[in-house]
Chain A
Amino acid sequence: MVGELSKPHLSGPHLNEPRSGRPILRVLGVKKAFGAAQALRGADLEVLPGEIHALVGENGAGKSTLMAILGGNLRPDSGDIAFRGEDWTPAGPAEARNRGVSLVHQELALVPHLNVESNVTLGNEKARFGFARSQADRVRAALEELGYADLDPGARVGSLGMAERQIVEIARALFHDAKLILMDEPTSSLPARDVERLFAALGRLKARGIAIVYISHFLDEVARVADRISVLRDGATVAAGLPADTPTPDILQAMVGRPVAEIFPPRQGNLGGTVLEARGWVSRPGAAPADLSLRKGQILGLAGLVGSGRSALLRSLYGLRRPVAGSLAIGGEAELARGWTLERARASGIGFLSEDRKDEGLALGLSIRANSTLGELRRFANAAGLLRLDAEAAAVETMRTDLAMRSQGIEQPVGELSGGNQQKVALGRLLLGDATVWLLDEPTRGVDVGAKAEIYRLIAAEAAQGKAVIWAGSYLPELFGICDSLAVLHRGKLSPIRPISAWSEATVMAWAAQGVHA
């Protein structure tokens, strides 16, 4: 792999690792393709017993695919995997679990209607005369081991918070005597306090000699919790077994494949008049009233942890959810929050990009054509509602070329495209529309690095043409690279909007975590 970091710290016995010894897991040259998309093109990974090994990389780098392979959910196309010295080819997640590898899912795989004990023992129930036998003691022991002795095995999982659910999943792994636990973004939906408790639990697992592969986007977290770090980029391992104290910029560079500064287009700061102004806007019950104003040509970043209310804010401005209170002025006309609907938002020139391409943003079974014009069909229809298919095709074709979309023409189903090209279809829909205010929720989620750079360029160009953009995101280097001002949300409380130069990663994180200026 042609990374600038040509594997300077290959894992192996030369590392000054106290836990050095035979690796419990060894992955070599694993490849996996989904249709035309090559998700993994040479992944390597070596994990020692009792080690927390962080796996980092951008969205779409192949981390989750690799986890799914290790956890028995997917089978690799080629490559070698050895677990505890034996070939690792589990027939499915159940076998993987029984042989000592447990996956703690990003979207938790729990049965909300059953209680903690049933969830932990699911698939491994002990029965006497066909009746399930209580294994509450063993379940309680597993929970205690994780520092959650207070969690009642009889509690319904549906009534638990995210942190506790995660613990239930980890307890399930312990219950099945896991030797290797795979954790995919375990902290992404946890508040700070619970993150600490999770780390304490991970420490206990480590002390028991259990190895953990830990996927995270949060590099500061990785630096704290991990013993070593491997970096995936575009499906290949570009750095393996870096020590935990590797400087963050080096890791970033390995993730992105070039110095961070170069992928962002230069921004010119010609801002026009105010196009949108929200006063006392309460996007969801319990959120603090927010004041927000947006000017022509501005890209306003919206930072905040997952669950801080970024999406709720954007969605309420677009009318996808009923705002609770406040008023909104667009182009000088004031509107009350009550009665603000999606139809009015669209008529006022607001466009929206969903963070959830798969379930909300796109109709994956339909063609590029049908997806990109779905919001603007009237433009291509005559009075009788008949579509002018030629005009539509021409417009979509132009958009496809402009965005350098890689596809087999405009009739290809969107579901067959790569994440980056799917996102281009979703953005193309905005381009084909006439919205002047773009609300973008995580516009580069699940998009490879090349497409990211193209999206940055596109949005910057549109802003230069006079579009006003709100860009909600969780990846700070990106927000600092593309935005000219920034506001941070903490549990529904919005910071004042400040120029990007007035923020630093530390002050953003301070507000995101505590809701105060550091």
Chain B
Amino acid sequence: MKPGLRTLAPYLGLAAAYLLFSLLAPAAFHGAYNLKTILTQSVIVGIGALGMTFVIISGGIDLSVGSLIACATVLLARALNLGHEPLPGWLPWAALAAATGCGAIGGVLNGFITARFRLAAFIVTLGTMQIYRGGAKWLAAEQTVTAPATWLNGLMEVDAGPRWLWIAPGVWLLLALTAAVAVVLRYTVFGRHVYALGSNEAAARLCGVPVALRRIQIYALGGAFAGIAGAMQFANLTLGDPTAAEGMELDIVAAVVIGGGSLRGGEGRAAGSLIGALLMAVLRNGCNMAGIPNYLQNIVVGAIIIGAVGLDRLGARGSRA
């Protein structure tokens, strides 16, 4: 298969889905407001998918990100509750950093266990998925955690900001992070190592790439992105919820795979993952607007994931010599 097709496929898919729902759904679907809504709805999965892009390119997977997102919402809410009214201006920032750091620490643990004991990432993160979920519930005392209102709550509001902002701040953040990840993957030594690790770990080792360290860094990045996604989740809910984002890890993996990431490692792009997240948001939103029942949504999303993986296999067969 030509590499071009695999790269273009997610864009074409997104365009096709958008056109399709423009026909099926009421006119409100392609209005500016709904467009902004779709963008906002793609933020959490999108940011998670950017982190997952590193992990998947490196030949790994991280199933614990959903739990990490929940952890982050709880930790953020708890952190905000530490201050007394009026809240000091740095507190929301510190809470945001705590959420991100919590994700990163979870990721370090994932990477350490995977690299140090040479265990399959799937199993390790399947385990930590439960552990982190448990940790989130413990942190939250098995309840949702309310928090004082701050500017954080506005991050995911479609029309919250000044007019010139046009879209929700979270969407801008998603776009900026996408650009940053794209640059890291393409223009840095670290990015090159991520691809090398996923394409052939033995070759990377042979060339002196510090394989274990890189794995830990990669999972830490994946976790940190989950932490940021968690902050966005918090903004959405305006409270910390230990049961938030259950099953979202699969949406995140799906977004990366739809966007051209290969679960065999060595392939994947930041822009692709963004498009994957947008495609899923368009599907969900479009189905709702068109009154398509929920069960059909599930079936459609599932079929698209399989289709994307099918393309991936096709590519693998084509390049085998």
- Is A381 in contact with chain B by the CB < 8 A criterion? yes
Query: Within 8 Å CB of A374, what residues of B?
Result: 192, 196, 203-204, 207, 209
Query: Within 8 Å CB of B267, what residues of A?
Result: 365
Which residues between 310 and 361 of chain A lie within 8 Å of chain B, taking CB atoms?
A: 320, 342-343, 346, 352, 354, 359-361
- The count of chain B contact residues (Cβ–Cβ below 8 Å) is 23
Query: Within 8 Å CB of B202, what residues of A?
Result: 354, 359-360
- Also in contact, A365 and B203, with CB within 8 A (given A343-B208, A346-B208, A378-B189): no
Pick from A34, A370, A373, A386: contact of B187, CB below 8 A: A386
Which residues between 262 and 321 of chain B lie within 8 Å of chain A, taking CB atoms?
A: 266-267, 319-321
Taking the closest CB of chain A, its distance from the CB of B231, in whole angstroms, is: 27
Taking the closest CB of chain B, its distance from the CB of A387, in whole angstroms, is: 5
- Is A377 in contact with chain B by the CB < 8 A criterion? yes
B195 and A364 contact, CB distance less than 8 A:
no
Distance in angstroms between the alpha carbons of A362 and B200 in the assembled complex: 7
Distance in angstroms between the alpha carbons of A381 and B193 in the assembled complex: 13
Nearest residue (CB) in B for A342 is: B208
Taking the closest CB of chain B, its distance from the CB of A369, in whole angstroms, is: 10
- Also in contact, A360 and B190, with CB within 8 A (given A366-B196, A374-B196, A415-B321): no
- Is A35 in contact with chain B by the CB < 8 A criterion? yes
Q: Mark B190-234, 1 if CB is under 8 A from A, else 0.
A: 101101100110111111110000000000000000000000000
Distance in angstroms between the alpha carbons of A346 and B193 in the assembled complex: 17
B204 and A363 contact, CB distance less than 8 A:
yes
Taking the closest CB of chain B, its distance from the CB of A329, in whole angstroms, is: 22
Distance in angstroms between the alpha carbons of A37 and B188 in the assembled complex: 34
Query: Within 8 Å CB of A365, what residues of B?
Result: 199-200, 266-267, 319
A387 and B189 contact, CB distance less than 8 A:
yes
Residue of A320, A361, A365, A385 with most chain B CB atoms under a 10 A cut-off: A365
Query: Within 8 Å CB of B319, what residues of A?
Result: 365, 413, 415-416
A352 and B192 contact, CB distance less than 8 A:
no
Residue of A342, A363, A375 with most chain B CB atoms under a 10 A cut-off: A363
How many contacts A-B (CB < 8 Å)? 79
- Is A429 in contact with chain B by the CB < 8 A criterion? yes
- The count of chain A contact residues (Cβ–Cβ below 8 Å) is 33
Taking the closest CB of chain A, its distance from the CB of B39, in whole angstroms, is: 30
Distance in angstroms between the alpha carbons of A116 and B264 in the assembled complex: 33
Query: Within 8 Å CB of B266, what residues of A?
Result: 363, 365-366
Nearest residue (CB) in A for B183 is: A386
Nearest residue (CB) in A for B200 is: A363
B207 and A429 contact, CB distance less than 8 A:
yes
- Is A389 in contact with chain B by the CB < 8 A criterion? yes
B200 and A385 contact, CB distance less than 8 A:
no
Query: Within 8 Å CB of B196, what residues of A?
Result: 363, 366, 370, 374
Query: Within 8 Å CB of A415, what residues of B?
Result: 319-321
Q: Mark A72-92, 1 if CB is under 8 A from B, else 0.
A: 000000000000000000000
Query: Within 8 Å CB of A387, what residues of B?
Result: 187-189, 192
Query: Within 8 Å CB of B320, what residues of A?
Result: 415
Taking the closest CB of chain A, its distance from the CB of B34, in whole angstroms, is: 39
Distance in angstroms between the alpha carbons of A173 and B320 in the assembled complex: 29
Query: Within 8 Å CB of B208, what residues of A?
Result: 342-343, 346, 375
A385 and B204 contact, CB distance less than 8 A:
no
Taking the closest CB of chain B, its distance from the CB of A372, in whole angstroms, is: 10
Query: Within 8 Å CB of B189, what residues of A?
Result: 377-378, 381, 385, 387
Taking the closest CB of chain B, its distance from the CB of A436, in whole angstroms, is: 16
Taking the closest CB of chain B, its distance from the CB of A240, in whole angstroms, is: 27
Residue of A320, A354, A364 with most chain B CB atoms under a 10 A cut-off: A364
Taking the closest CB of chain A, its distance from the CB of B257, in whole angstroms, is: 16
Distance in angstroms between the alpha carbons of A300 and B98 in the assembled complex: 58
A361 and B203 contact, CB distance less than 8 A:
yes
Pick from A360, A363, A370, A386: contact of B188, CB below 8 A: A386
Query: Within 8 Å CB of A381, what residues of B?
Result: 188-189
Distance in angstroms between the alpha carbons of A381 and B186 in the assembled complex: 12
Query: Within 8 Å CB of A366, what residues of B?
Result: 195-196, 199-200, 266
Query: Within 8 Å CB of A363, what residues of B?
Result: 195-196, 199-200, 203-204, 266
Nearest residue (CB) in A for B3 is: A413
Residue of B188, B203, B266 with most chain A CB atoms under a 10 A cut-off: B203
Query: Within 8 Å CB of B192, what residues of A?
Result: 370, 373-374, 377, 387
Distance in angstroms between the alpha carbons of A374 and B205 in the assembled complex: 10
Distance in angstroms between the alpha carbons of A416 and B321 in the assembled complex: 7
Nearest residue (CB) in B for A377 is: B189
B187 and A360 contact, CB distance less than 8 A:
no
Query: Within 8 Å CB of B188, what residues of A?
Result: 381, 385-387
Query: Within 8 Å CB of A364, what residues of B?
Result: 199-200
Query: Within 8 Å CB of A37, what residues of B?
Result: 321
Q: Mark A21-49, 1 if CB is under 8 A from B, else 0.
A: 00000000000001101000000000000
Taking the closest CB of chain B, its distance from the CB of A139, in whole angstroms, is: 35
Taking the closest CB of chain B, its distance from the CB of A229, in whole angstroms, is: 29
Distance in angstroms between the alpha carbons of A377 and B200 in the assembled complex: 17
Distance in angstroms between the alpha carbons of A371 and B207 in the assembled complex: 9
Taking the closest CB of chain B, its distance from the CB of A378, in whole angstroms, is: 7
Pick from A360, A386, A416: contact of B200, CB below 8 A: A360
Sample of 10 more A-B contacts, CB < 8 Å, known A364-B199, A375-B206, A385-B190: A320-B205, A343-B208, A354-B206, A365-B200, A365-B266, A381-B188, A385-B188, A386-B188, A416-B319, A416-B321
- 19 A-B interface contacts by CB (under 8 A): A34-B321, A35-B321, A354-B202, A359-B200, A360-B202, A363-B195, A363-B199, A365-B200, A366-B200, A366-B266, A374-B196, A374-B204, A375-B207, A375-B208, A377-B192, A377-B193, A385-B188, A413-B319, A429-B207
Sorted nearest first, the 9 A-B pairs with minimum C-beta distance are A363-B199, A375-B207, A363-B200, A360-B202, A374-B207, A365-B266, A34-B321, A365-B199, A377-B189
